[in-house]
Chains A and B, each alone.
Chain A
Amino acid sequence: MPHRILTVDDSKTVRIIIRNAFKRFDCEILEAGNGMEGLDRAKSKPDLILLDITMPVMSGVEMLERLHADPELAGIPVVMLTAEGQKTTAERAMQLGSRGYLMKPFTNDALIQQVSTILALQEKSVAA
């Protein structure tokens, strides 16, 4: 069964880059353009969420807080993906329960490595 990854980013460019990066893998890519849409798409329980921080309508930080307040969605691993690369932002995201943090600009290799590591961990923790 393919992994399902939800990309939440207001930039169509970033969403296409991510879709292209996972083309050669057995992945289904879901997309949302802001945190509000992202919360709605998250109800389909993707295996992982790639989440931008600075977005209109609802920011990534607010979406992360709402995900973790919902017992049905709280277990979905989230990787923050942002140009807001300062240590304080990273620490805040990790405090809120983000599993990883990838700074823009990023390479496809860095993205795939981060996602595959977390998905492998997630599978282990589900199987345990």
Chain B
Amino acid sequence: MGRDHLMPVARDEISDASIERAIEKGVSEVLATMASEKIESLGRTPNPPLHSRPQDIEGPHVVASVGFVGDINGIINTHFDDQVATELSAKILGMSPAEVAAAGVLTDSMGELTNMIVGVFKNTLGEVGYVCKLTLPSIIRGADFHVDHTLRSGRRYIFNFRCRGRSIVTDIIMEED
């Protein structure tokens, strides 16, 4: 067997367009399948600094974070406006907003939706050769906070969506190769 056989398989560089396709597919597919909701894509925030709060998020909201580890490493923080989070949770679970609050399932629902979104995202990137696994979701709910990370260098993509007239933002932070 020649030495060439031991060389790793070449993969396409993950382009910005691939990232955009993967995340838009994730958000639209998950919300359509689980909540029969259409989302509107408002596009990407141009050149966000590595550390900052996404601009389209204000007031009470829920942030669910799921990491991906393997050929590529990173995390996706999904920011849901509190009202749309409650409405989506109610729809998915067949409950009223009051029942969602009483059952204490709002944060769990947003964690699960984000888990599915990141699952579709990583499976889409898996199709071009990047294999990774998901971490368990972690969720924060509040009004005056922002989620940060410890990377000193990396790639960051912020994509903005609207659902029921409210904001959903996906903030993708990826380690540099």
- Least CB distance from A124 to B in Å reads 31
- Residue on A with the closest CB to B70? A86
A10 in the interface (beta carbon within 8 A): yes
A51 to chain B, nearest CB (A): 16
Nearest CB on B from A40, distance (A): 21
Kindly state the separation between the CA atoms of A13 and B111 in the bound complex, as whole angstroms.
9
Task: List, in ascending order, chain A residues with CB within 8 A of B92's CB.
Answer: 13, 17
| A16 CB-CB contact with B under 8 Å | yes
Per DSSP, are chain A's interface residues mostly helix, strand or loop, or mixed?
A: loop
Within 8 A of A (CB), among B42-96: 89, 92-94
Q: Is B22 in the interface zone, CB < 8 Å from A?
A: no
Asked if B146 is at the interface (CB within 8 A of a chain A CB), the reply is no
B174 within 8 A of A: no
**Quick check: A54 and B134 within 8 Å, CB to CB?**
yes
Q: Is B105 interfacial (CB 8 A cutoff)?
A: yes
Q: CA separation between A105 and B88, bound complex, in Å?
A: 14
CB of A75 closer than 8 Å to a CB of B: no
Cβ-defined partner of A107 (8 Å) among B33, B115, B131 = B33
A116 interface hit (Cβ, 8 Å): no
Known interface pairs A54-B136, A88-B131, A106-B33. Does A83 touch B109 (Cβ–Cβ under 8 Å)?
A: no
Cα of A84 to Cα of B134 in the assembled complex, Å: 7
Contact code string A12-24 (vs B, CB < 8 Å = 1, else 0): 1110110010000
Q: Does B40 contact A (CB under 8 A)?
A: no
**Chain B residues within 8 Å of chain A by Cβ, number:** 25
Q: What is the distance, in angstroms, from B112's C-beta to the closest C-beta of chain A?
A: 4
Main secondary structure of the interface of B (DSSP, over half): helix
* Number of A residues with CB within 8 Å of any CB on chain B: 22
* Alpha-carbon distance between A106 and B115 when the two chains are bound, in angstroms: 13
Q: B168 to chain A: closest CB distance in Å?
A: 15
Contact A16 B136 (CB under 8 A): no
Chain A residues, Cβ within 8 Å of B108: 11-13
B30, B89, B111: the one contacting A105 at CB < 8 Å is B30
Complex interface: chain B residues within 8 A of A85 (CB): 119-120, 123
Digit string of B31-45 for contact with A (CB within 8 Å is 1, else 0)? 001100000000000
Question: In the docked arrangement, what's the CA distance between A85 and B111, Å?
Answer: 18
B116 at the interface (CB under 8 A from A): yes
User: Measuring CB to CB, which residues of chain B are less than 8 angstroms from any residue of chain A?
Assistant: 29-30, 33-34, 89, 92-94, 105, 108-109, 111-112, 115-116, 118-120, 122-123, 126, 131, 133-134, 136
20 A-B pairs whose Cβ atoms sit less than 8 Å apart in the complex:
A10-B136, A11-B112, A13-B93, A16-B105, A17-B92, A20-B93, A20-B94, A54-B134, A55-B136, A83-B119, A83-B120, A85-B123, A86-B123, A86-B126, A88-B131, A103-B119, A104-B119, A105-B116, A105-B120, A106-B33
5 additional contacts (CB under 8 A) given A13-B92, A55-B136, A88-B131: A11-B115, A14-B112, A83-B118, A104-B115, A105-B30
